Amino acid sequence: MAVLETIRVKLGILITVLIAVALLSFIIDPNTLQSVSSSMSSKYDVGNIDGKAVSYNDFQADVEKFTTINEIISGSSVSSEQQHQAVRNAAWQSLVDKYLFVKNAQAAGINVGEQEIVGILSGDVNSPVFTQNPMFYDENGNYSKARLLDFVNYVNSDQTGKLKIYWDYLQNTAITQQYYGKYTALFTNSNIVNPLMMTEKIAENNNTFDLEFVMVPFGYAKDSTIVVSDKEIRDYYNSHKKFYKQKASRDIEYVVFEVVPSAEDIAAANQSLIDVYDEFAAADNMKSFLMANSDRQYDDRWYKAGELRSVAQEVNDFAFSGSNGTSEVIAKDDVFYAVRVMETAMVPDSVYVRHILLQGTEVSKADSLLNVLKSRKASFSALAAEFSADTNETAEEKGDIGWMTQNYMIPGFESVLTAKANEPFVLNTQYGRHIVEVTKRTKPVEKKKVAVLEKGAVASRETINGYYSQANTLAIKSAGKYENFKKACEEDGLYAHTLNKMLEGADRIGSVDNAKEVSRWAFEAKVGKVSNIITINNNYFVVAALTGIHKEGYADVSEVSSMISNTLYAEKAGAKKAEEVSAKISGLTDMQSIAEALGTTVSTKEGVAFSSMTSQGLDPKFIGAASVAADGQICGPVAGNIGVYVYKVTGRDTGAFFTEDDAKAREVQMAQYTTQMIVPVMMDNAEVVDNRARFF
């Protein structure tokens, strides 16, 4: 009865739990449960920094913030994959700084105090974050504290909130850089080289020696008498295990079907350009015409000679040849062009601009203010101040904008490049009406506005379907199995590329970029499986087979046994060859007799230095042994990397080519390398996990 009672109690608890779970799942939305589960699972973390989990949502919020910062700095949106990658790297580095570096710096006794922070952010303490930022330069290209303070005062009036994001970024960066400066100073200032050490370094690099030697090469034939046992391999592995640490990776074989235009597709592209050629030559609204008919849109830009080479050399040559009208059809790498010069003028590369911006009810006063400025030759600042006093209104912005180029240009200000110097004019932009004056210009050079009609050959649907059919045939024959994949490749004459140790998130296979879908598939598949068709950029069809898995951590001894075996074999072969050489030269007392006994000749080398680049032509093991050998004595045999050496040092010399400045420069290089390794070493010790490749 006691047993039955125990069963009844335990079953009652189990049934109660099951009912509770059922009721909970009925009440709570399944998506909510999934969301909670996801947030609690490391599978959905972008990484882990010193025990701090970084969720995808949090990291994505940082990425969006850094995207805004990048747009403010560059003046353009983030569009290419390289730009997105740079933004994600910046966001990740900021987290590493926040959760790891600053924490470690503080643990080392380093701090950035409140007064120090106030001094940095107010400009009283110079920080490279501000002093090297062109946004805070004056008209002479020098850092201006006043410009920094003007920016800070303007931040809160920015309705978009973007400048606040940028200012927060500058503050955090400046403070973090202060930590970096102090922490790296610990290393550079503690790396002391006293006079005795300096003298020794100079002597070591100036001491050279002359050699006579004979070398017996190992040869390429395998010596069957030399055996490397499994125990020796395992013992070597255990004693050198730290060298076999690895990241997770995969081995794959894959077939690529590249989609390229057929001869018919190329002819069609040529004909499509010919069909609109006459319209192009006569078009008045070139922007609209190219938008409707060209692969390349109209760029309202002034080009210098040589800049159109990025399109095609032939395009540049026609534009700056002095020819009139429209070029003939230019064919280049399955792309067809026609070129028409729209305007020619003498245009500077950059101009220095100042303005007064009028908004709201003020815009109607722009013309009258311009007349005042021209007639009285009043300064911009004086005119703005007078305007404010007389009307109780304020010009929103006034004064210098700075140097402007085609790449650094406020939208709507493009005409300043061709404006005359010191002749103010009114300019309308999306921001309001501006009274603008160009005060300085670089030397004008001949530039042209050029329209390029471009038609590239594109694979037709029939062509694409043909390549897809080939890939599909391979995928069907493989039926998901590696054995079938190999057989199908042999039957159809397909070449299967091999890629070993592919890292998670790898973006390239062979010459094919943007191939992350292949690595994602490989990290989810099992060994021996074959993928379905993986489409890359609509230009490639890939069928891949997973042939090997390498886990995070230390490589298994079986993965590196071949490499270890070769290393141990080389050591044993060297020792055996050295014994054979020793036996053959026993009792011989001069280098010529030794050479004859070994069936070789005597070689000489002068001015050999242990740490000099001039010694690179010799075996490092041989150089090391010879550098400490007694003068005039026959030494060896010494087993090197490629053969066995018998040698004699015939002379030594102390030069002066390696100076104290050289020694100091080398110390600086070593210090720089040390400081560059600070964060990587911290990340390694903290076992930082970076899973970004799974998500991006």
At 640-651, the pLDDT tens digits run 988 999 999 999
In terms of domains, do 256 and 270 share one?
A: no
At residue 585, the pLDDT reads 94
pLDDT(149) > 90? no
Which one-letter amino acid corresponds to residue 488?
A: A
Measured CA to CA, the distance from residue 70 to residue 464 in angstroms comes to: 38
Q: Is residue 129 part of a domain?
A: yes
In terms of domains, do 87 and 184 share one?
A: yes
Question: Alpha helix locations (H) across 534-653?
Answer: 557-584, 591-597, 620-627
- Residue 378 DSSP one-character state: -
Q: Is residue 665 part of a domain?
A: no
In terms of domains, do 25 and 117 share one?
A: no
Q: Is residue 694 part of a domain?
A: no
At residue 388, the pLDDT reads 54
Q: Is residue 371 part of a domain?
A: yes
In terms of domains, do 567 and 642 share one?
A: yes
**pLDDT one-digit tens code per residue, 268-292:** 999 999 999 999 999 999 999 999 9
Q: Which residue has the higher pLDDT, 88 or 204?
A: 88
Residues 210 and 607 sit within 8 Å (Cβ to Cβ): yes
In terms of domains, do 588 and 644 share one?
A: yes
Measured CA to CA, the distance from residue 443 to residue 300 in angstroms comes to: 21
Q: Is residue 200 part of a domain?
A: no
At residue 155, the pLDDT reads 85
Nearest to 348 by CA among 399, 406, 261, 395: 406
Residue 537, by phi and psi: left (phi above 0), alpha (psi -120 to 50) or beta?
left
| DSSP notation for 548-571 | EEE-SEEPPHHHHHHHHHHHHHHH
Give the percent of the chain with pLDDT over 70: 89
Total tally of structural domains belonging to the chain: 6
* pLDDT (mean) for 243-256: 95
Q: State phi, psi for 649 to the nearest 5 degrees.
A: -80, 120
In terms of domains, do 275 and 343 share one?
A: yes
Q: Is residue 607 part of a domain?
A: yes
In terms of domains, do 133 and 235 share one?
A: no
**pLDDT one-digit tens code per residue, 230-244:** 999 999 999 999 999
Domain range holding 27? Answer: 2-40
Nearest to 601 by CA among 294, 233, 216, 323: 216
* Domain-terminating residue out of 551, 579, 610: 551
Q: Is residue 660 part of a domain?
A: no
In terms of domains, do 320 and 367 share one?
A: no
At residue 107, the pLDDT reads 93
Residues 293 and 348 sit within 8 Å (Cβ to Cβ): no
- CATH number of the domain bearing residue 500: 3.10.50
Neighbours of 154 (CB within 10 A): 12
In terms of domains, do 324 and 372 share one?
A: no
* Domain-terminating residue out of 442, 472, 496: 442
Residues 253 and 542 sit within 8 Å (Cβ to Cβ): no
* Domain-terminating residue out of 551, 567, 588: 551
**pLDDT one-digit tens code per residue, 394-411:** 444 567 788 999 988 888
In terms of domains, do 431 and 541 share one?
A: no
Which one-letter amino acid corresponds to residue 535?
A: T
- Residue 392 DSSP one-character state: S
Q: Is residue 593 part of a domain?
A: yes
Structure tokens at 678: 């600070």
pLDDT(214) > 60? yes
Residues 253 and 545 sit within 8 Å (Cβ to Cβ): yes
pTM over 0.75: no
In terms of domains, do 495 and 594 share one?
A: no
In terms of domains, do 386 and 433 share one?
A: yes
At residue 60, the pLDDT reads 94
Residues 543 and 534 sit within 8 Å (Cβ to Cβ): yes
Residues 206 and 656 sit within 8 Å (Cβ to Cβ): yes
pLDDT(312) > 90? yes
